Amino acid sequence: MAGCAGAIGCALPRVGHAATAIILPTAAGNRRFSILYKGDRIGAHTVLYSSETGETRISTEIHLLVKIAFFIVFAFSHRSEETWRARRLMTLNSETVEHVETLHVAGVATSQGFRVVSKGGPFIASAATLTSNSLWTPAVLEQATVVDAQHGGIIGVSARKFADERIAIAGRQVRVTRYTLITPYLAGSIWYDEENLWVRGEFERDGSNIQYELDT
């Protein structure tokens, strides 16, 4: 999949608009998605914001659980907390449990850049980096690489604008922009409203198609 993402990244044009400013949402922009597979709810993805003393904290939680009869066939959980100051990522701490393995990623802003430590060892990313959890802003789609908040290191991102659309959210029609997105771990579509808030997603992960429906 990583090779596929690299190849497609060369073929697809980048997002074709001016650079999107990274505007950190307030608590009013909190996101709570139900994750659906073939119409059944298999998990949730939550993004919560809080601000104090000039910093913004962004907490992300993802939980997936798939059962057949009484047997668990897939389980995944991810928790992370980022602190941001002056629109720059200052710290990252995460824990991911996937395929019975627990992974930890820690990052901190330094004078050399954003230093990430994980199972694969230390790595220095750009001081202006975003993370793979930064789907809360369409600015993430303009990045060539981001810090992998689940596994550590960096991963490539390829995205392009697909269409301006109207979709139904909570029984009302909302104007949105749809983008296609490819990383080494998922591919699909993501939608943002006119305030650049994430409102929907459709992704392929591990060969399965899942949908993100915004809880209201």
Angle at the Cα of 76 (from 74 to 79), degrees rounded to 5? 170
Q: Quote the CA–CA distance of 161 and 184 in Å, as a whole number.
A: 19
Percentage with pLDDT > 90 across the chain = 74
Name 109's bridge partners.
114
Q: pLDDT band at residue 106, thresholds of 50, 70 and 90?
A: very high
Token pair for 118: 């994980």
Residue 155 in contact with residue 184, Cβ under 8 Å?
yes
Q: Supply the range of the domain harboring residue 12.
A: 2-214
Which are the contacts of 36, defined by CB distance < 8 A and separation ≥ 6?
A: 42, 210, 211, 212, 213
Tell me how far the alpha carbon of residue 157 is from its chain's centroid: 11
- What is the token pair recorded at 134? 């930064």
Single-letter residue type at 89: L
Q: What average pLDDT does the segment 140-149 reach?
A: 96
Confidence check: pLDDT of 183 > 70: yes
The pLDDT tens digits of the residues spanning 66-89 come to: 888 888 888 999 999 999 999 999
Return d(Cα 155, Cα 5) in angstroms, integer. 10
The pLDDT, as a whole number, for residue 113 is 97
In contact, 33 and 40? CB cutoff 8 Å: no
Sequence-ordered alpha helix ranges (H) in the chain: 2-11
Is the pTM above the cut of 0.85?
yes
pLDDT at 187: 94
So what's the pLDDT on residue 71? Answer: 85
Q: Which two tokens stand for residue 99?
A: 């395929």
> How many structural domains comprise the chain?
1
For the chain, give the number of residues: 216
Phi and psi dihedrals of 138, rounded to 5?
-65, -10
3-state secondary structure of 18: coil
Mean pLDDT, rounded, for 38-67: 94
Rounded Cα–Cα distance for residues 17 and 143 (Å): 13
- Residue 187: C-alpha distances to residues 97, 113, 120, 141, 203 (Å): 21, 28, 24, 12, 5
Rounded CA separation 161/179 (Å): 4
Name the range with the highest mean pLDDT among 2-6, 98-102, 188-192, 202-206. Answer: 188-192
Distance CA 164, CA 95 (A): 36
pLDDT tens digits, residue range 108-135?
A: 999 999 999 999 999 999 999 999 999 9
Q: Where do the DSSP E strands lie in 23-131?
A: 31-37, 40-52, 55-68, 71-85, 88-98, 101-109, 114-118, 121-125
